[in-house]
Chain A
Amino acid sequence: MEAIAVARPEGEASTAAPERVKLLLVDDDPDNLLALEAVLEPLRQDLLLARSGEDALRLCLDHDFAAILLDVRMPDMDGFETAALIRSRRKSRHTPILFLTAYRSDEQLFRGYDLGAVDFLFKPIVPEILQSKVAVFVELSRNEQLLRRQAEELTRVEQRFRAVLEAAPDAMTITNNAVIELANSRADALFGYSREALIGRDIRELIPDWEAAPAGAPDPGVTEERLRAVRSDGTSFPAQITRSPFRSAGAWLITTAIRDATGQVEAETRIRKINAELERRVAERTAALTYSNDALRQFAWAASHDLQEPIRTVLSYSQWLASSGAEAGGDRRDRMLGVIQDHASRLYQLLGALRQYLQVSESGAVDAARASRTLVDVNAVLTQVTANLQTLIAESGAKLEWDGLPTILGTEILLVQVFQNLIANGIKHRSDRPPVIRVQAEISDGAWIFSVQDNGAGIDPKYFEYVFGVFRRLNRGGGAGMGLAICKAVVERLGGRIWVESSGLGAGSTFRFSVPQRVE
């Protein structure tokens, strides 16, 4: 119990000089009293004198005596009567009485012992015998006082200890071999038992996974752990258990603080959830950045390659033209010049497509597109596209069909761009049949899904992803290979996605893209 400091009371027996005890000497003869006093003086105790039974009784009211020496023969009230009255009082019931008498009579002895005498001393008094007998009672009294004081101190310590236990913020128990010996009221409340029901109970009924320290084990020290605790009604809760063992009378007693950890567990769960969410977001963001970096790198390679090609051709052919000189025929020179012109214009066309792509895929365009979202009538968008593609439609004899398209939240200029690219794509990749392009819309999961269906050449499923890359062509048309890459960039700017479906070559293709209608 080293945790509980106890202030030692003043005059603690083990350190201070032995306290003097009181002895009462009763005799009607002053000379006898004087003689007794002289004999007992060397014991250095407090001696109180009485000349009669009445005086003795009076002194017994006010003082506790280690022993009373009582003359048997006294006038008025004799020693036996006085002893009977002393005995009858609660305060002095156990005070040892030694009778002093001149007569050795059995009758007197029996009467004296009946009245609680502890001894008889016969006159004339032998000083050594008197001293040694009284010294025994002095010692007895001292020991009794010491015991009483120690008992009081123990009571005080235990009271303090219980007060500490009660004042503790946690439920607390002290167990001996897993049996609860002490508990505080917080323990009663936490587990829903009365104090009586708790004391003597096996703590494993409250904490099933409790592991008792094996007897004779070395000090396991203070341990802290999270265990499941069970209330009297059978419900359970997570508990923070702090165990502090101490050795007492050869056994390990364990002081245990038990705290309901439900709130803590909930907080931990919440923090774990928040951390997981944060990690997920970081991972997502990292993946997006990585994707965007990879896409950018691929784009840079593709762009540098496709832009270098026409320049290389122009350079080679201009050198060839210069070095071929007069020996080359006019046709040959015209053909070389034609190649140079073709590739110079192709470079110009590529750069234009690239600029357009960069405009829609620039991050600044994202905010601009989001900010400028308004209600757009898609029917009007298609009317605009038809006007823009007038020449291509007329030359190919294409038919555009749409009906009852919705008014959606979007950016008109971007929608025109997507529909125009998809429809032009459908017309360019036509089969032998005259092209028919059908535009439809349906709402699904909070987004408009638009489809642009053609009856053209169709696309092999292995190119479904490929066609949306930059500078990607499926045949030797004059295109820059940027149309679908631009559509993809625009649709992604509008928060949607784009994909293509086709039953294969010759079966036509259907391009679909989504435009979310939730405002972020």
Chain B
Amino acid sequence: MKNHSVRIFLAEDNAADVWLIEEAIRRQSIAFEIDNYTTAADAIEAVVRCGTGESPVPDLILLDYNLPSGHGGDILEAAAENSHISNVPKAILTSFLQPSESKKALELGAACVITKPASLDEFMSEVGGKVAKLLRGDGCAGPR
């Protein structure tokens, strides 16, 4: 566990989900700050600037898949162009994905696809657990 506060790049348009994600990470006893973008266009604009001096390199990039003006895959594509963040773990967050979309996301550089369960307890352990693993540099494969 890192001592300093971690910085999380979050593309998520649903404020209720932002709150749930914050709660899940908090329950992992991780100190964090979130930069939240609510449309794909805003997130793309931000992701290309990471590490250029205009904005810092985040410790983790979490992307909701279905967003206004586009989807998480579009942001991954833009992120791939930015070499400053090539080592930053990236994950797609979604309630569900079509198999083809899931495959595409992994090809575009996502470490994994994290599903948003409907049950609160599952949401906390799934999202919190995987975020913690990703921050430790363990990836997010295998059981949570």
Binding site for B on A (CB under 8 A): 301, 305-306, 308-309, 311-313, 315-317, 319-320, 323, 339, 342-343, 460, 463, 466, 473-476, 481
Contacts and interface: CB of A to CB of B under 8 A. Distances in A.
A312 B116 contact: yes
A514 B118 CA distance: 44
Interface in B9-41: 13-17, 19-20, 23, 38-39, 41
A316 B38 contact: no
B16 A476 contact: no
Which of under 10, 10 to 19, 20 to 34, or 35 or more describes the interface residues of B?
A: 20 to 34
A317 B96 contact: no
Given A312-B95, A312-B116, A460-B41, A317 B16 contact: yes
A315 to B, nearest CB: 5
Contacts of A315: 118-120
Contacts of A320: 20, 23, 120
A339 B19 contact: yes
Interface of B: 13-17, 19-20, 23, 38-39, 41, 66, 68-70, 95-96, 98, 116, 118-121, 123
Contacts of A319: 119-121
28 contacts: A309-B14, A311-B118, A312-B95, A312-B118, A313-B16, A315-B118, A315-B119, A316-B16, A316-B20, A316-B118, A316-B119, A316-B120, A317-B16, A317-B20, A317-B120, A319-B120, A320-B20, A320-B120, A339-B15, A343-B16, A460-B41, A463-B69, A466-B70, A473-B68, A473-B69, A474-B41, A475-B38, A476-B68
A312 B17 CA distance: 10
A475 B39 contact: yes
A308 B95 contact: yes
Contacts of A311: 118
Nearest to A320: B120
Nearest to B94: A305
Given A309-B95, A316-B118, A339 B39 contact: no
B17 A301 contact: no
Contacts of A473: 68-69
B14 A474 contact: no
A293 to B, nearest CB: 15
A199 B66 CA distance: 87
Given A317-B20, A476-B38, 8 more contacts: A301-B98, A305-B96, A308-B96, A315-B118, A320-B23, A342-B16, A343-B16, A466-B70
Nearest to A467: B69
Given A315-B118, A319-B119, A339 B98 contact: no
Nearest to A309: B95
B64 to A, nearest CB: 10
A474 B15 CA distance: 16
B36 to A, nearest CB: 11
